[in-house]
Structure 1
Amino acid sequence: MDRLTEMEAFAMVVDQGGFTDAARKMGISKSAVSKHVSALEARLGARLLNRTTRRVSPTEIGLAYYDRARRVLTDAGEADALVTSMQTAPSGHLRLSVATDFGVALLAPILAEFLLDYPDITVTMVLNNRSVELISEGFDMAIRVGDLEDSSLRARKLTETTRRMIASPGYLQRHGRPMKIDDLTDHRLLYHSTQAHGNVWRLLSPSGEPRQVRAPGFLTVNDGHSLLKAAVSGLGIAHLPEFLFAEAMRAGLVEEVLPDLPVETLGIHAIYPAGRFTQPKVRAFIDFLVRRFLEKGPIGN
């Protein structure tokens, strides 16, 4: 007899508390279940069940075997599901939590291409800058820019960008160009209000020493595009990821401030639940993003 079937019959008898209910659950006869369990006990040379006229219960050895058998059966079921999922065309509803600036600047323009490639998938994209609880809040995955918090989630790097300080030529002509980090306290700084550490810029000095800049914010807003527009308008100095200001810099609308400072690199990751296998719709979307950003290289270049 098949070893896995014997194991399944035994585990089902323990789960259901008897042969009759186990047979009903498995869709086979009671005698077939009994034969599977008897064959298992004979092969192992041990009695796994205590049988009385009123009830069936596992022996001490049977209980220990049940724990291991249940794990094997679970793994086997997941292995079957994995093969099925890998042969199934991705479909269903995909709910994404995406960092706002990244979503608007880089994801929204290519989303149509993904949906055309996978017509059986629908997408809801929620733009926010907080670390959502994927499972409890009903998200399939999230895309985050910067350092990842320690968690049990899986993460796959999509690409990377840099963060730099920028200002318009007009602002630098009117207020002067800062020559060192300490000079920033005399300037009009534009802050992103969703920074976890408040209105503080964390920079590295030319020697690599961590520095913090605290200065009154001339403008604080929770949107990077608004900060970029403010910088282009000459309102102050902004500290932004390169994917937001790259085009404005190429057009001469902004210039880098303190270009001699070490460049801060930001990773851009897809995060998703750490199950035994990834849902086809999630895997398809992540693979799509990896391909697209591999073609582009580091964002901003």
Structure 2
Amino acid sequence: MDRLTEMEAFATVVDQGGFTDAAKKMGISKSAVSKHVSSLEARLGARLLNRTTRRVSPTEIGLAYYDRARRVLTDAGEADALVTSMQAAPSGQLRISVATDFGVNHLSPVLGDFLATYPDISVNMVLNNRYVELISEGFDLAVRIGELEDSSLRARKLTETKMRMIASPAYLEKYGRPKRLDDLNEHKLLHYSNQANGSVWKVSAPSGEKRQIRTAGWLSVNDGQSLLNAAKSGLGIAYLPSFLYADAMKNGEIEDVIPDLPVDTQGIYAVYPPGRFPQPKVRAFIDFLVDAFSEKGPESW
């Protein structure tokens, strides 16, 4: 006989307190339920139920087996439900978190195509510049840039961005071009104020080692686009990702301050809570993003 059916018959008898009610619950005859349970006991070589004319109750061994059997049956039911849900059309509200700069400049412009492709999904996009707790704060997914701090999350790489020190031609003409990292001590720096480590740039030196640039900034802002605007206006040197500066550099509004330095690259990822399979709406959105950014980065923005 089918092992799972035997297990289900036994567990249902325990749940319902007897064979008659178990048969009604399962939609089969009382004799069929009795046959499944007897077959299970014979296969295990143990008596699982105490049977009297008035009641049925599990033996000590039967109670221990019931606990495990109920878990197995629950897992089996969830597995069936998972297959059903994964074949269903993606739907429901998708709540995503994304850094303001990337969300405004690159995610917002492609959302229309996603919503047109999946009309049964609604999107709630939250723009912020902090690491949100996906599960406790109710997010389905986040787009994150740089090193991933939470290793418990699942992640899929979308593309890459490069980091450069940039400034306007007017600034470099007025204050001179630094030739070495140490020369930055004599320059006006534009810092991103939301960094956890404060006003520090982690930059690769020509030797390949990582250097921390701690020079005090002339201006600190919690928004990358504002830093880019300040750099274009000649206010100082900013350290920004290519997805922000690419157009300005192409138009000659800013320049690479120290071209000989190694260029640092950061990954851009879709991250989502752990679990063996993502929900259909999450999987659909990630697949869409991979396609949308397939020809983007690390410089071509």
TM-score w.r.t. the length of structure 2 is 0.90
Query: Structure 2 CA distance, aligned partners of 1:173 and 1:135?
Result: 50
Give the AA of the match of 2:274: A
1:238-277 paired onto structure 2 within 5 Å? 238-277=238-277
Asked whether the equivalents of residues 225 and 244 of structure 1 are also in contact (C-alpha less than 8 Å), the reply is: yes
Asked if structure 1 preserves the Cα contact closer than 8 Å seen for 2:166 and 2:238, the reply is: yes
* Pairwise CA distance, 1:51: 4.9
Q: Deviations over 1:147-193 (max 9, x none)?
A: 00133211111111111110000011111111100111111111111
Does structure 1 retain, via aligned residues, the 8 Å contact 2:49–2:56?
Answer: no
Aligned twin of 2:137? 137
Instruction: Give the equivalent residue in structure 2 for 1:56.
Output: 57
Alignment partner, residue 299 of structure 2: 300
Q: Does 75-84 or 105-114 show the bigger shift? A: 75-84
- CA–CA distance in 2 between the matches of 1:103 and 1:148? 18
Deviations for 1:41-66, whole angstroms, at most 9, x for unmatched residues?
Answer: 12322223445656623533x45544
Structure 1 residue 35 displacement after superposition: 3.8
After superposition, the Cα gap between the structure-2 partners of 1:10 and 1:201, relative to the gap in structure 1 and judged at 3 Å, is same
Secondary structure of 2:293 counterpart: helix
- Equivalent pair of 2:23/2:33 in contact (CA under 8 Å): no
Contact residue 48 and residue 58 of structure 1 kept, 8 A: yes
What is the 5 A alignment of 1:1-301?
Answer: 1-14=1-14, 16=15, 18-19=17-18, 23=22, 26-28=25-27, 31=30, 33-51=33-51, 56-60=57-61, 62-63=62-63, 65-66=65-66, 68-294=68-294, 296-301=295-300
Unaligned runs of 5+ in 2: none
Is the Cα contact below 8 Å between 2:18 and 2:56 reproduced in 1?
A: no
- With 244-253 and 67-76 compared, the bigger mean Cα shift is at 67-76
Is the Cα–Cα contact under 8 Å of residues 96 and 124 in structure 2 kept in the other structure?
A: yes
* Letter aligned with residue 278 of structure 1: P
CA distance in 2, matches of 1:299, 1:22: 65
Task: Answer yes or no: is the 8 Å Cα contact 2:160–2:297 preserved in 1.
Answer: yes
Secondary structure at 2:234 match in 1: coil
Q: What runs of 5+ residues in structure 1 fail to find an aligned partner?
A: none
TM-score by length of 1: 0.90
- CA, structure 1 residues 2+256, in 2 after alignment: closer, same or farther (shift >3 Å)? same
In the alignment, the residues of structure 1 paired with residue 169 and residue 156 of structure 2 have an alpha-carbon distance, to the nearest angstrom, of 38
Moved more, 244-253 or 146-155: 146-155
Q: Deviations over 1:206-236 (max 9, x none)?
A: 0012211112211111111111101101111
One-letter amino acid of the counterpart of residue 179, structure 1 = K
Taking only the aligned residue pairs, the percentage that are identical comes to 68
Measure, in 1, the Cα distance between the counterparts of 2:246 and 2:176.
Answer: 23
Q: Partners in 1 of 2:24 and 2:200 — Cα distance?
A: 62
Rounded to whole Å, the distance in 1 between the matches of 2:96 and 2:21 is: 41
The amino acid that maps onto 2:117 is D
d(CA) in 2 for partners of 1:99, 1:134: 14
1:19/1:277 Cα in 2 relative to 1: closer, same or farther (>3 Å)?
Answer: farther
Q: Give how far 1:266 is off.
A: 0.6
Q: CA deviation at 1:67?
A: 5.1
Structure 1 Cα separation of the partners of residues 224 and 19 of structure 2: 65
- The residue identity in structure 2 corresponding to 1:149 is E
What do the CA deviations read for 1:220-277 (whole angstroms, capped 9, x no partner)?
1111111110110111111111000000000000001112112111111111111232
